[in-house]
Amino acid sequence: MSTSAFEADFQFPLGNAIGDARVQKQRDVLKTELIAARAREEFLLREMRTLSQRQDMMAQEFEHRLVNGLQMVVSLLSLQSRIAPTPEASMQLTVAARRVAALGRVHHRLHALDHQEHVEFRQYLQHLCDDLSGLLFQDRAGHAIVVEGATADIPTVLAIPLGFVVNELVTNSAKYAEGNIVVCFEAATGGHSLSVMDEGPGLPPGFDPARSKGLGMRIILSLVKQIGGTLRYAAGDGGRGTRFTVAFVPPPREASFA
């Protein structure tokens, strides 16, 4: 057999051996890189979990401090109302104490919505109004806050400002209401509405929310603007009292609300 024939007979197997070695080396390198990448991923996941736990702890600490601070403010306002020089000053301090206390209760109720994207709004309103009723009507028999309307899920980012709107409207109505305060939620394909109705003396002639000097109305307008809604007002049923209505359009379920 000639030299060239011998080389021809053994060239292919030798080439295979070299190719297999290269492939195995590439596999080993790839395996090492994959193991290193997996280790980095696990490290990052542990760091993210640790960071999330720290954020939760900070949020809980903030909640605790805020609630304690609000309780202290309520106590101070209540104390000052007892030693106020005039009945008018005493009444104003009492109103302020109740408003701060109501905000604390609302904040506590809203805090339960953390990490939830949607909330069943009728049920949420019922719990919120139960809190407000116990707070605002604890010394007034024959008064209640009645929740009516549809059941529907809405984004939490809408429920939170709407909760504060209800708090402001109900707190204001409680000053003048002669009967029950009715909170009504209506859900429709084209948009939702939330109304607060009372049987008080009604709005003064020429009332304009945009020109109101009251802090509560400014808060309401700001919150309504925040959710892209509109605020309407009129006389209540039978021409008695007042009806405030917030109309808003929730985003599609799959969309995020900014």
At residue 193's C-alpha, the angle toward residues 257 and 254, to 5°, is 30
Of 80, 115, 150, the residue at which a domain comes to its end is 115
Query: Does residue 123 share a domain with residue 220?
Result: yes
Query: Does residue 249 share a domain with residue 132?
Result: yes
Distance (Å) of CA 239 to CA 24, 243, 247, 249:
88, 10, 21, 28
Question: How far is the C-alpha of 249 from the C-alpha of 227, rounded, in Å?
Answer: 9
Q: How many Cβ atoms sit within 10 Å of the Cβ of residue 156? A: 19
pLDDT in tens, 59-92: 666 666 777 778 888 888 888 888 888 988 888 8
pLDDT in tens, 3-49: 455 444 444 455 566 667 788 888 888 888 888 888 888 888 888 88
Of 90, 115, 140, the residue at which a domain comes to its end is 115
Question: How far is the C-alpha of 38 from the C-alpha of 15, rounded, in Å?
Answer: 34
Question: How far is the C-alpha of 111 from the C-alpha of 124, rounded, in Å?
Answer: 12
Query: Does residue 97 share a domain with residue 125?
Result: no
